[in-house]
């Protein structure tokens, strides 16, 4: 193999730029909730942990230094040819949740979502995206697998974002180069922006208005996109799942239940009593019946009164505990 000083320098620079640091802010999100809620076609923003990530965050004034496109599991993809092509770039389980991303030193690759388990993440969900268009976006991203990472574009983006004016920002910049060869190279946000442009989904379009044509949208140069643009876009919903949620309980836990009240049928009929088992109910009913018989006057046994109507059992005119328990017991018997 022919030795190239340029290749050696690029390799060394890439290794230095991508050296990972220990996670520091993963506590800001709940990865288990994210992996459960994320959908194919969502954009996953990542707060990176290497040197180039620090540069991106400072240049864009945003915590997000990387973006990846979530494509789901292999069986979430409709086209069998796409599944086969993904298999050529990923040898893991078919049940793994996958993203397509462009990474420095690796190019455009398929990565398990679990790779970002210890990172600070955010989901950007395109509003109203149909399943068909989501599959087309995934198709475009799959077609870019194997492409090289465009380190020169990152450098030119850095020049463009600097608060300088004049020709230097655009001088020999690949950001404004229309050559077709540039399509062989990717960076994370540009690759995803190209995928959404393939179905005319807006991210941060240029809005033009004139008297003749009214309002028109113009697609923005996808090489100018950064990960934070998906966060800023009004066409993406921002979904966060903090590690400690302020509303852990589901909405039905906040319904105005009357504590300890057991209803019969009518909304006016209920009594306050703890819920008891069938065995306890049988024993209590028997004891209450015996006690009621012992307290009954002998003259009343010879001329028994008409039993009270069940409709008389209410909060204002409750019957004896024995009657209530008998009625509950009968209700259970009929319901079975």
Residue 144 inside a domain? The answer is: yes
The answer for residues whose C-beta is within 8 angstroms of residue 3's C-beta and 6 or more apart is none
Kindly give the parts of the chain with pLDDT less than 70.
1-3, 6-18, 25-27, 149-186, 243-250, 263-329, 331-336
How many structural domains comprise the chain? Answer: 2
Count of CB atoms within 10 A of residue 135's CB? 19
Last residue of a domain, one of 239, 267, 284: 239
In this structure, the answer to whether residues 116 and 195 fall within a common structural domain is yes
The reply to whether 77 falls in a domain is yes
CA distance 37 to 30: 11
Q: Are 103 and 187 in the same domain?
A: yes
**Residue found by looking up tokens 């909060």 in the block:** 315
Q: Are residue 118 and residue 267 in the same domain, yes or no?
A: no
**Phi then psi for 85, rounded to 5 degrees?**
-65, -35
Our CA angle for 31, 34, 40, nearest 5°, is 135
CA-CA distance, 331 to 336, in Å (whole number)? Answer: 9
CATH number, residue 113: 3.90.1720.10
pLDDT of residue 258: 75
Q: How far apart are CA 135 and CA 89, in angstroms?
A: 18
Kindly state whether residues 104 and 140 are assigned to the same domain: yes
- In the chain, DSSP assigns E strands to 43-47, 66-72, 98-103, 107-112, 120-126, 148-149, 185-186, 206-210, 214-218, 236-239, 261-263, 270-272
Confidence (pLDDT) at 291 = 58
| Same-domain pairing of 143 and 45 | yes
Instruction: Give how far Cα 43 sits from Cα of 11, 183, 189, 192, 328, Å.
Output: 29, 21, 10, 8, 55
Task: Note whether residue 74 is domain-resident.
Answer: yes
Return the residue matching tokens 């807006």.
Answer: 202
Per DSSP, the three-state class of 32 is helix
Q: Are residues 229 and 124 in the same domain?
A: yes
Residue 188, in any domain of the structure: yes
212 and 260 together in one domain: no
Question: Residues 201, 324: one domain?
Answer: no
Is 249 contained in some domain?
Answer: no
Q: Are residues 207 and 261 in the same domain?
A: no
Q: What pLDDT is recorded for position 310?
A: 45
| 261 and 134 fall within a common domain | no
Domain annotation covers residue 3? no
Q: Is residue 300 one of the residues assigned to a domain?
A: no
Residue 246 lies in a domain: no
Residue 181's pLDDT is 42
CB hemisphere CA count around 198 (13 angstroms) = 20
Domain that holds residue 98: 9-239
The pLDDT value given to residue 28: 78
Q: Based on the domain organization, do 87 and 146 belong to the same domain?
A: yes
Residues 281 and 193 in one domain: no
């Amino acid at each position: 193999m022919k030795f190239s000083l340029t290749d050696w320098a690029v390799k060394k620079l890439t290794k230095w730029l991508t050296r990972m640091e220990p996670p520091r802010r993963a506590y800001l999100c709940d990865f288990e909730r994210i992996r459960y809620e994320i959908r194919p076609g969502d954009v996953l923003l990542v707060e990176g942990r290497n040197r180039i990530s620090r540069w991106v965050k400072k240049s864009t004034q945003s915590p997000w230094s990387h973006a990846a496109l979530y494509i789901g599991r292999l069986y979430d993809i409709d086209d069998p040819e796409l599944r086969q092509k993904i298999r050529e770039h990923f040898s893991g389980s078919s049940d793994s949740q996958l993203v397509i991303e462009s990474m420095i030193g690796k190019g455009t690759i398929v990565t398990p979502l679990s790779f970002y388990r210890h990172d600070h993440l955010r989901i950007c969900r395109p509003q109203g995206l149909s399943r068909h268009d989501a599959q087309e976006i995934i198709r475009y991203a799959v077609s870019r697998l194997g492409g090289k990472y465009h380190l020169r574009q990152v450098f030119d983006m850095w020049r463009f974002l600097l608060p300088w004016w004049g020709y230097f920002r655009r001088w020999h910049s690949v950001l404004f180069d229309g050559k077709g060869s540039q399509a062989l190279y990717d960076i994370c946000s540009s690759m995803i922006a190209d995928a959404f442009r393939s179905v005319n989904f807006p991210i941060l379009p240029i809005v033009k208005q004139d008297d003749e044509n009214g309002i028109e949208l113009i697609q923005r140069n996808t090489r100018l996109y950064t990960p934070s643009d998906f966060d800023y876009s009004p066409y993406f919903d921002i979904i966060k799942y903090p590690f400690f949620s302020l509303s852990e309980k589901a909405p039905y836990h906040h319904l105005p239940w009357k504590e300890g009240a057991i209803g019969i049928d009518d909304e006016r009929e209920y009594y306050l009593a703890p819920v008891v088992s069938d065995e306890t109910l049988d024993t209590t009913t028997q004891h209450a019946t015996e006690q009621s018989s012992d307290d009954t006057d002998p003259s009343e046994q010879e001329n028994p009164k008409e039993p009270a109507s069940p409709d008389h059992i209410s909060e204002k005119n409750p019957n004896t505990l024995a009657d209530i328990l008998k009625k509950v017991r009968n209700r259970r018997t009929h319901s079975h």
